Amino acid sequence: MGICIIDEALTIFSWNKILSRWTCKSYEVTIRSSLLEHYPHLRSRRFLDRIQSVFENHQPCLFSPSIKHPFLPIPLDNEHSDGWMLQKTVIEILGDQKQFAQICVSDVTTQYRQIQKLRIEKEQHRLSRCRTQAILDCAADAIITINENGLIEEFNRSAEQMFGYKSSELLGRNINVLMPSPIREEHDGYLKNYLQTNKPSVIGTGREVLAQRKDGTTFPLFLSVSEVVMKEKNTTEKIRRFTGIMRDLTEEKRRESELKAARKDAERLSAFGLILDRSLNEIYIFDAETFRFVHVNKGAQENTGYTMEEYRNLSPLEISLDYAPDSVMNLVEPLRNGTEDGIKFTTMHRRKDQSHYPVEVYLEAAHLGPRQVYVAVILDITERQEVEMELRQASENALCADRSKSEFLANMSHEIRTPMTAILGFNDILLENLVKPENIDAAETIKRNGNYLINLINDILDLSKVEAGKFDVECIECSPLSLVNEVISLLKVKANAKNILISSRFEGAIPKTIMSDPTRIRQILINIAGNAIKFTESGSVEIVVRLLADVDDEPKLQFDVIDTGIGIPDDKIENMFLPFTQADNSTTREFGGTGLGLTICKSLVKLLGGDLSVSSKPGEGSKFSITVSTGPLKDVVPIKDHSESTAKCVDLQSTGGREKPLQNRRILLAEDGPDNQRLISWILKKEGAKVVVADNGQIAFDLASKANSDGCPFDTILMDMHMPLLDGYEATRGLRNSGYTSTIIALTALSMVEDRQKCLQAGCDDFATKPIDRKKLIGMILEHIERKEDERGSDIQSKAQPLLD
């Protein structure tokens, strides 16, 4: 401490050694001189005023060290600093006298320099700390520092984000909290081991480890650890710190596996892409989620014009005209939920040049590695569709042709039959009136030939119908007994003429009725038995009937026609059933016949549910066997005793002599053909009827209505179904609608089942087919008249009753 004493006038009275040394002014130099002399700067207000106040107020004065204004400017040139001495100066009034003041100057240079140095160091440290912190904060990687005990000392922002902790939560906690088991339990051991042995297992190298977040999830990270060793001042102890820098590998790993998968995909695709290219079909593979094409084969690319690259941006929606997003989803639904393995459908595809072509698609679900895909194999069906169309056209044409043919035949038959009826009819009239034998012969010849022609036409029509599959058979109740007896009585004349015995025989129990077509059975039996008579010179023709034992539930009735004729050689039997052949060409000449009969019979028998077979011994005879289905026989009464089998055998030959059956009956004939008018009128008049003729349906209707309203209706109306102005159907309907209840019998040239139905539906009671069978017609008229009279009788009776009451 440098000390000097001054008075109020600043005269120096004392100057100590230290001060001398500092100021290089000796005691001798300074004593009794003014302080201001030596240090003129003290003249400033700062110093003067304050020094004055010391003397005036006796107040102590304190001057703090300041480089700017040292009290005494003392230069220093030692190693601690260059510059001036820093001084703390205190000026106090001295003693009781209070005339003097003592100035104490303390050298605080070193102290203050140290302070400043410390300050700078602190600031540098602070800046350094800031910089480090900035780096830590900005780092994308997590940076964690731990001490020797594994406790966390630093935990940067990235670490907070990576692990999900706030740094405040983890400071001071063990680092192993960020590790999953079992590493967690082992870490302390590792650390201790390293501290002891200094053998690094992870220090300085980087490696992949598994870490654990706050929420418990684990994730991979890349870790590199470095050690910092610091030596503390004044100690021999080393402070060891470990800093870990971590990079979250989750994203990297995900990208890596994606890349690997993509590479694998590409490999797989190229491998069987070659196989797919071999196919001529178009093959498409598209992703089940995105619906974008993953691979298409060469065939597809060539056919549509798109390249594989272009396909990658397309989906089925762009290729097909039919697909909208919803409809595609519906389409693949069965594949999605597993109800179908593959679906097939046709649609229209669009090429790159916008042209269309029809395709058939077969779609399946599949896996391409881990990826779910759909595989579509597509066939261009342009050609197929064209062929299909051609076929359809041809089929339609054929049907058309067929229809025309049938219509033609039907028309032709009508056209031929009508004049034939007239020819035969008038021929009959002639026969009645001819006397000369040669004339009668001539008429008989005409008749024979006419019948032959009619039969031929019928046969041709039948055959064509059978061939066209248009032949319908009825299924009605009929009596086999009466059928057979009818046939026999019809053929008796012919047989008698050749002196051949024709008979029937029934073996076993025969059902009273069967469900079949009596007309056809009759036709067949007449044909076969007729042939038998034709080809037998002498002997017999027998028709044997028996019921065949049930085969399953289908009972059959068998008719055997056995003759003692010329027989048929074996090799000719086959050919017999072919159209227009007879066993021998010569037989036609000898025996006549159309040659169609057997063909038709065979087809008819088949339609009746049975079969036709022949066995023969030339020279001895033949046996023709026909079977027909009988329908269910559950409730049918079997007849054993055939003696009373004489069914209604209307012997129509014997009418002559008796009273005329149609005596006084009034009959309206509605018929437009003049020949048929004359013919049928003659037939009716012969039987005693009174005939009124109408040219067309309108006249018929008017006449019938008038007669009805007059109170004397016609007994029967014979209505030709095809007439001009108003045809038979309309006239009949009209009459029925107006309440006409008497008999109307239809006359029709058409013989198909539907036509008959039509007549009945129109309101007719019955029908007769042209050419008219005279006897049948008369019988029919009689039957209906009698029936109506019976009905009326009972009607009147029942109507009368209330009156009586």
Partner 1 sequence: MTLSENELDVLLEIINIGVGRASKSLSEMTGSRIELSVPNIEVIGRNGFVEMSEKLESTLDQSVLQSFQGDFSGRAVLGFPTRQAFDLARIVGGIEVTDVEMDDELFGVLEEIGNIFLNNVVGSIANMLDCKLSYMLPELCSQKFFKGLLKPGQPEKQSLALIADTSFSISENDISGSLILFFETNNLKELLFKASNPSGIVHTIQK
Site string for partner 1, 318-347 (x = CB under 8 A): ------------------------------
- 164 near 214, Cβ under 8 Å? yes
Minimum CB distance to partner 1 smaller for 111 or for 761: 111
Candidates 38-46, 298-306, 384-392, 742-750; binding stretch for partner 1 (CB under 8 A): 38-46
**Composition of the chain by helix, strand, coil, percent to 5:** 45, 25, 30
Minimum CB distance to partner 1 smaller for 114 or for 757: 114
Tokens of 722: 């095809």
Distance between CA atoms of 38 and 487, rounded to whole angstroms? Answer: 183
Distance between CA atoms of 320 and 515, rounded to whole angstroms? Answer: 60
Distance between CA atoms of 81 and 49, rounded to whole angstroms? Answer: 31
CB of 68 to partner 1, least distance (A): 7
| Binder of partner 1 out of 26, 64, 217, 404 (CB under 8 A) | 64
| Contact flag: residue 68 with partner 1 (CB under 8 A) | yes
Candidates 32-40, 52-60, 483-491, 794-802; binding stretch for partner 1 (CB under 8 A): 52-60
Minimum CB distance to partner 1 smaller for 98 or for 238: 98
Distance between CA atoms of 135 and 280, rounded to whole angstroms? Answer: 65
| Contact flag: residue 63 with partner 1 (CB under 8 A) | yes
Closest CA to 220 of 269, 259, 264, 180: 180
CB of 84 to partner 1, least distance (A): 15
Distance between CA atoms of 118 and 95, rounded to whole angstroms? Answer: 40
| Contact flag: residue 70 with partner 1 (CB under 8 A) | no
Distance between CA atoms of 805 and 802, rounded to whole angstroms? Answer: 5
Phi-psi region of 247 (alpha: psi -120 to 50; beta: other; left: phi over 0): beta
Minimum CB distance to partner 1 smaller for 44 or for 355: 44
| Contact flag: residue 92 with partner 1 (CB under 8 A) | yes
- Angle CA(563)–CA(568)–CA(571) in degrees, nearest 5? 155
| Binder of partner 1 out of 45, 199, 436, 648 (CB under 8 A) | 45
| Contact flag: residue 31 with partner 1 (CB under 8 A) | no
Minimum CB distance to partner 1 smaller for 58 or for 351: 58
| Contact flag: residue 8 with partner 1 (CB under 8 A) | no
Minimum CB distance to partner 1 smaller for 47 or for 374: 47
Site for partner 1 in 94-123 (CB under 8 A): 108, 111-112, 115-116, 118-119, 122-123
DSSP string of 64-99, one letter each residue: ---SSS-SS--EE-STT-SEE--EEEEEEE-TTT-S
| Binder of partner 1 out of 17, 21, 117, 126 (CB under 8 A) | 126
Tokens of 675: 């020949």
CB of 50 to partner 1, least distance (A): 7
| Contact flag: residue 292 with partner 1 (CB under 8 A) | no
| Contact flag: residue 88 with partner 1 (CB under 8 A) | yes
| Contact flag: residue 660 with partner 1 (CB under 8 A) | no
> Is 493 buried (19+), middle (13-18) or exposed (0-12) by CB count in 10 A?
exposed
Minimum CB distance to partner 1 smaller for 65 or for 511: 65
Closest CA to 747 of 773, 725, 726: 773
Minimum CB distance to partner 1 smaller for 66 or for 503: 66
| Binder of partner 1 out of 1, 37, 43, 59 (CB under 8 A) | 59
Q: Does residue 384 sit in helix, strand or coil?
A: helix
Q: Does residue 218 sit in helix, strand or coil?
A: strand
| Contact flag: residue 134 with partner 1 (CB under 8 A) | no
Distance between CA atoms of 265 and 611, rounded to whole angstroms? Answer: 70
| Contact flag: residue 49 with partner 1 (CB under 8 A) | yes
Report the interface residues with partner 1, using CB under 8 A. Answer: 44-46, 49-50, 53, 57-66, 68-69, 88, 90, 92-93, 108, 111-112, 115-116, 118-119, 122-123, 126
